[in-house]
Amino acid sequence: FGVGSNDFTISFWVYFKSHISNGITGDYDASSYIYIADQSNGKVFIQIDDGGTDSNTETDKVLNTNQWYFLTFVRDTSASEVR
């Protein structure tokens, strides 16, 4: 695994029975990582570090429990952001 320095999109379905500030998924190597987590405020957080640039964001909307959501995060390296 390696985050690299390219643009990419991550999409996934998620369903919460509760919000407990817990990791959803993540991966890392010696110089980079990606981490996606549920937060106790009902939002989903993503953080990406490619070994030089650290970018993060969270959903604008609070996600209700007991409901399916399809989430998409886009990494735009030209703007140095995740949205």
Q: What pLDDT score does 68 carry?
A: 96
pLDDT at residue 1 tops 60: no
**SS3 per-residue string spanning the chain:** CCCCCCCEEEEEEEECCCCCCCEEEEEECCCCEEEEEECCCCCEEEEEECCCCEEEEECCCCCCCCCEEEEEEEEECCCCEEC
Give this prediction's pTM. 0.75
pLDDT at residue 7 tops 80: no
Q: What pLDDT score does 75 carry?
A: 80
Q: What are the pLDDT digits (tens) for 15-74?
A: 988 887 777 878 777 777 788 888 889 989 888 887 777 788 888 889 999 999 999 888
